Amino acid sequence: MTNNFHIPENHPRAESLRIREKLIEGFERGLVALAGLIAHGRGECFDYILGEKTLPFAFEAEKAAVAMMLLSKNPVISVNGNVAALCADEIVKFAKTVDAKVEVNLFYRSLKREAKIAEILKNKGLEVILGVGCEASSEIPNLSSLRRKVSPKGIFLADTVLLAIEDGDRTEALRKMGKNVIAIDLNPFSRTALWASITIVDNVVRALPNMIKIAENLRFEDRFKLKSILTSYNNCENLCKIVDFMCRRLKIFAEKGLLKPNMTSKIEVLEKRIISEIIGER
């Protein structure tokens, strides 16, 4: 923890504080950009509205995403500073489970930061890390930021790119190149969320461990089964369900006055009812 900051186990927001501390530590080690801390705050706000848990709709997207990764010829995981600081272990484990390449790609690009992120991933057991320095010698068309520079063996060649905690320009540009994009983004209204082929509205710290477990179960399934998971998934409908859940959850707070801290169990009962109504309705 930074500056020996101690988070009491019984603190009601202990997990959220631990995540913040990881990012601050990542910032101090030169992995995370200052703007990355602000981007995290935007995510936290949406996570609060979601109830800080994986919704069944997000889990469905995670399952479809794993099926897509397993079906792809050249799946690539794009890693930025926030993702490296929050879940380097999980990135390495997931990449190995679905046999994907890993590429560093940064909005605030600097060789020093790229090398630091690559070093972290290497220390976690990943042998090849693409996109560092002049290895990123190909360009994504119609993208002005430095993230246009990508590895010819990685994102440029990929049929599917998994990315998290990103703004929308690159997702749009990748989709226009004909690639599948899987985005982990807590904001269902972001351009990334709207442009992605599969949008996982979940915190990356919950999504990746879920996806590792799903991948461990699905990796030996035949392509027919994987294709059926993918074809029965509809991203647009899934996003609607998430937004529907958010609206209804906010509505019960507004109408029933559930803002007192001791109302947790009552909220949980109501949330379950909302979820089963949404699942039943469509």
Q: Which residues bind ligand ATP (CB under 6 A)?
A: 39-40, 42-43, 46, 164-168, 184-187, 190-192, 203-204
Smallest separation, CB 191 to ligand ATP (Å): 4
Closest to ligand ATP by CB, 153 or 188: 188
4: left (phi over 0), alpha (psi -120 to 50) or beta: left
Closest to ligand ATP by CB, 149 or 153: 149
Closest to ligand ATP by CB, 153 or 179: 179
- For 116, the token pair is 């630091």
Smallest separation, CB 247 to ligand ATP (Å): 17
Smallest separation, CB 54 to ligand ATP (Å): 11
Smallest separation, CB 199 to ligand ATP (Å): 10
Closest to ligand ATP by CB, 85 or 226: 85
Exposed/middle/buried for 242, CB within 10 Å: 0-12, 13-18, 19+?
A: buried
- Please answer whether residues 282 and 237 qualify as being in contact, where contact means their C-beta atoms are separated by less than 8 angstroms: yes
Stated as kind and residue range, the H or E segment containing 261 is none
- Please answer whether residues 107 and 119 qualify as being in contact, where contact means their C-beta atoms are separated by less than 8 angstroms: no
Task: Select the residue whose beta carbon is closest to ligand ATP and give its number.
Answer: 43
Closest to ligand ATP by CB, 43 or 131: 43
- Please answer whether residues 66 and 98 qualify as being in contact, where contact means their C-beta atoms are separated by less than 8 angstroms: yes
**Cα 65 from Cα 47, distance rounded (Å):** 20
Query: In the block, which residue shows the tokens 């990103």?
Result: 166
Closest to ligand ATP by CB, 135 or 169: 169
Closest to ligand ATP by CB, 135 or 166: 166
**Cα 213 from Cα 248, distance rounded (Å):** 30
Instruction: Tell me the backbone φ, ψ of residue 162, rounded to 5 degrees.
Output: -100, 125
Smallest separation, CB 62 to ligand ATP (Å): 12
Residues 6+ apart with CB under 8 A from 38: none
CA distances from 104 to 22, 73, 82, 88, 163 (A): 19, 20, 11, 12, 10
3-state secondary structure 205-217: HHHHHHHHHHHHH
Smallest separation, CB 6 to ligand ATP (Å): 23
Smallest separation, CB 137 to ligand ATP (Å): 25
